[in-house]
Chains A and B, each alone.
Chain A
Amino acid sequence: MSSTAAVEIHGAHAEHHELGFVRTYLFSTDHKMIAKQFLFVALFMMAIGGLMAMLMRLELGWPENQWSFLRIFPETLQQDNAITPNTYNSMFTMHATIMIFFVVMPILVGTFGNLLVPLMIGARDMAFPKLNMFSFWVSAIAGVIILSSFFVTGGAAAAGWTSYAPLSAVPNYTGVDWGQDLWCISLIVLGMGSLMGSINYITTIINMRTKGMTFFRMPLVIWSLFITAILLLLALPVLTTALALLLFDRMAGTHFFLPSGGGEPLLWQHLFWFFGHPEVYIMILPAMGVTSDMIATFSRKPIFGYRAMAYAMIAIAFLSWIVWGHHMFQSGMNPALGTSFMLTTMVIGVPSAIKTFNWLGTLYKGDIHFTTPMLNALSFVAMFVIGGLSGIFMACTPVDMYIHDTYFIVAHIHYVLFGGSLFGIFAGITYWYPKMFGRMMSEKIGKLHFWITFIAFNCTFFPMHILGMGGHMRRIYNPLQYDFLKPLAGINEFISVSALILGAAQFIFLFNLIYSYWFGEKATENPWHANTLEWTTPVHPGHGNWPGKLPTVYRGPYEYSSPETTEDYWPQNAPPEHMSAAAD
C-alpha cells in the first residue's frame, strides 16, 4: 500500500511542474507520450515501406518498363530508368523488414502497449518509466541504422527478410556488403529495445493492476499484450543470437552457416523460424485483442466466451513454439519431421477458429454501431478468416510442396498481416485517437478511407492466391522470363493497379490523422460509452493519468447491456448500487 501512496504523491507532484519541451516531447518518461513517439516514427516508416511496395508492383505489373520518374534515383538503383534486379531484391527485403519490425510491431506493441497497459489496468505509468523511454530511443536508433543501409556502397540488404544463409552470409553471393551488416546490427539493436519494452509490460501488468483488477477482469487487449510481451521476451534472444552468428560469419570468418567450414545452412533457418513463428503471433495477438474490445463495445454486448478467448490466446502462445518447422517442409529437413510439424500446425489453427466463432457470437443479438473503428475491426475478422483458411493449404505438407515459395504464401501473409494486423491498427488508432489527442477522428473521412482500403486490399491480395495456384514464384523480378507464367501477366497488371490505389488511399488516413488533430470534434471523457478504465481519466490525462485516487475496479470489462443497469454500459469502476447508496 505504501508504494501506491508514494506513486500517488509523485503523480500529484508531477502535475504541478511544467516540464520543458525536451522532457515533454523528446525524452519523455510519460507512457502516453512514448506511445505517440512510437506511432509517429512507425507511420513515417510505413510511408517508406509502402513506397517500396509500390515500386515492386510497378516492376511486376509492367516488367522492365522504363519509368521516367525513376531518374531521381541514383545509377546504382536504376538502369535506363528501369528498376534493376538487385534493386528489386533490396525492395522486397526492406519492405518486409520495415513493415514487420518498424511498423506493425512498434504500433501494436510500442504504441498500443504503452498507451493502454497503464491506462487500462489503472496504473500511473509503466513500472520502469526511464527504461520505457530508453526502449523507444534504442528502437529509434535501430530505425536510423536500417535507413542508413540504403546509402552505403552495395546498397541495402537483398537476401530477403528471412536472410537465408549462405546467401546472406557471404557478401559475394548478393553483391551487398555493408547493407546486410547494417541489417543485422539494426535488428540486434531493435531487439534490445523490444526486450526492454517487454520486461516493462510484463512487470507492469503483474504488479501494478489497480485494486479489484484481477487477471480475469483485464480487457482482452491487455491479455493479448501480456502474452505478446512474454513471447517477445523469449523469442527475440533467439533472433539476436542468430544475427550475431550471421554477423560473425560475414565479418569474422566463422562458418556457423557455411558448409565449406563445417557449418550448416539449415541451422539459420531453424533459429530464424524458432523466433519467426512466435513473431507471427506477436504481430497478430494484439490486433486480436483490439478487435475483441471493438466488437464488444460496438455490439454493446459482453464478449462471447471471455475466458475461452483468454485461454485461446494462451494456447496460441504455447503452440507457437512448436510449429516453426512448417516454414521448412521443402528445405531438406527430415521429411518425417515435416509430418510432426504438419500436425502441430493444424492444431494451432484451432484456437484461431475459437476466436473467430466467439467474435461472431458477440455480434449475435447485439446492438451493432458501425463506427469507423468497428468497420475496421469487422474487416479484421472477415480478412483473418481468409488468411486463416488459406493457411490450411500450406500446413498440409504435400500441397505445400507445390505452393511453397509462391504467391499463395504472399497472399496468405498479407491477409494476416495487412487484412489482420493493419486493419486492427486502423481500428485501434481511430478508437483511441481521442485518448491520445483529445479530439475525435473524422468519421466521414475515416469511412471513406476504410471502404477504399477494404476494396483495394482485396483486389490486390486475393488474386495473388490465383498467381500462386499458377505456380508463380515469389521474389522474382520478371515473371515474363517464364513461359508458364505468361498467361498470368494480366492478373499481375490488375494487382498492380489495385495496389497503387491501395497505396494512394493511405494518404486519406494520414490526412484524417492530421486534419482531426486541429479540426476534429472535441472529445468527451468517454466518447464511445466504453467500460474500460482509460475512459475514466480526464480528456487530456496528465502525467500520472488520474488527478485524484486510482480507480477501483468492481467488475469485468464487458458489462454492456447488463440487465442490472438502465444504461447499456457499466464502467469497471462504477461502484455497485448498494455501495453508492451507502456513500449517499
Chain B
Amino acid sequence: MFLEKMYFPHDISTFGPSIDAIFLLIFWITVVTWVLVTITLVVFLVKYRTRPGRKAEYIEGNSRLEITWTTATTVILVALALLSRSTWADIKEHGPPGDFFYKVTAKQFNWEITYPGPDGKIDTKDDVTVENEFHVPVNKVIRIELESKDVIHSFFVPNMRLKQDAVPGRTIAVWFQATEPGTYEIPCAELCGFGHSGMLGHLTVQSEDDYNKWLKDTYTNQ
C-alpha cells in the first residue's frame, strides 16, 4: 500500500478505506497541480530571465484565461466537496445500528471506559468502569457515548482514522467497526494540560469469545 509506505498506520476500520481513497484522490490532484505550476514557474524564470537588448512584452491580462482558470478550479473544488459529503455523513451524521454500547469519559489525563453490566445497558448499577483499557469484539458495530469531565479532549484512533473531540457538558455519539484483532493506541489529540502528552489508552480488538471471557474476568475482579 502506497499510503502505508508514507507512514499511514495500518487501517482496521470499515470507513478507513474510503477516507484513504479520498486522501489519495486529493493527493494526486494536488501533486499534479503542484508539478504543473512549479514547472511553469521554473520554465518562465529561466526563459524570461533578463537579457540585454530584450524588453518585456506589454501584456495587461486576458479575460478568457481568467474565466477559464476560475471555472476550472471552482468545478474541481466543489466536486471534491460533494464527493466527500456522503463519507462524512456516514461516519458522523448517521451510521449503522449498534451491536455493542459503551461510554467513554475523558478526564485529565485518562480515558474512562464504561462497560454495560449483564443487562447490556449503560448508566445502570451493574456498569463496570476501567481506565484506558478499551476491549471490543471484532466485526461488530461499536457505539460510544463520548463525554468529558473537565476540559476538551479528543478521542483519536490513528488505525481507524477516527477522531472526535470530547466536550464537557455534551454527550457525543461515535461509532466504529474494527475489522482486525490486535491492540491499537488511543492518544488524546486535543491539548488538555501538562499531561496531554502521554494521555494514552489502548483499544484491544478481540474475537467475540475472547472478549466475553475478558469482560467476565473484569466483572469478577471488580
Taking Cβ atoms with an 8 Å cutoff, the residues of A that contact B are: 84-86, 88-89, 158-160, 164, 166-167, 173-175, 259-260, 263-266, 299-302, 304-308, 330-332, 335-336, 338-339, 342-343, 346-347, 349-350, 353-354, 356-358, 360-361, 363-370, 378, 381-382, 385-386, 389-390, 392-393, 395-399, 401-402, 404-406, 466-467, 469-471, 473, 475-478, 481-484, 487-488, 560-563, 568
Q: A158 to chain B: which residues have CB within 8 Å?
A: 194
B49–chain A nearest beta-carbon distance, Å: 5
Interface residue? B122 (CB, 8 A): no
Question: Which interface residue of B3, B166, B197 has the most chain A CB atoms within 10 A?
Answer: B197
CB nearest neighbor in B for A556: B60
Q: Using Cβ atoms and an 8 Å threshold, which residues of chain A touch B158?
A: 402, 471, 484
Which DSSP category, helix, strand, loop or mixed, fits chain A's interface? Answer: helix
On whether the beta carbons of B168 and A568 are closer than 8 Å, the reply is no
Choose, from B86-94, B97-105, B129-137, B211-219, the stretch at the interface: B86-94
Number of interface residues of B (CB under 8 A): 86
The answer to whether B77 and A482 have CB atoms under 8 Å apart is: no
Q: Quick check: B164 and A343 within 8 Å, CB to CB? A: no
Bound CA span A301–B56, Å: 6
Known: A159-B191, A338-B92, A466-B7. A568 touches B56 (CB 8 A): yes
| Most-contacted residue by chain B among A86, A159, A343, A478 (CB, 10 A) | A343
- Asked if residues A469 and B8 are in contact (CB atoms below 8 Å), the reply is yes
Give every chain A residue within 8 A of B190 (Cβ-Cβ): 164, 405
Chain B residues closer than 8 Å to A173, beta-carbon distance: 108, 150-151, 193
- Main secondary structure, interface of B, reads mixed
Q: What chain A residues lie within 8 Å of B34 (beta carbons)?
A: 385-386, 389
For the complex, give the distance between the alpha carbons of A356 and B50 in Å: 22
7 CB < 8 A contacts A-B:
A259-B170, A346-B80, A347-B78, A358-B66, A368-B49, A481-B200, A561-B57
| Complex contacts, B77 vs chain A, CB 8 Å | 346-347, 349-350, 392
Instruction: Report the bound CA distance from A338 to B89 in whole Å.
Output: 10
Interface residue from B30, B55, B69, B196 paired with A392 (Cβ < 8 Å) = B30
CA distance A278 to B150 in the complex (A): 30
Q: Which residues of B contact A306 (CB under 8 A)?
A: 60-61
Does B221 sit at the interface, judged by CB under 8 A?
A: no
B128 within 8 A of A: no
Name the residue in B55, B162, B164 with the highest tally of chain A Cβ atoms < 10 Å from its Cβ: B55
Chain A's closest residue to B79 (CB) is A346
Complex interface: chain A residues within 8 A of B49 (CB): 368, 370
Contact in complex: A399, B41 (CB < 8 Å): no
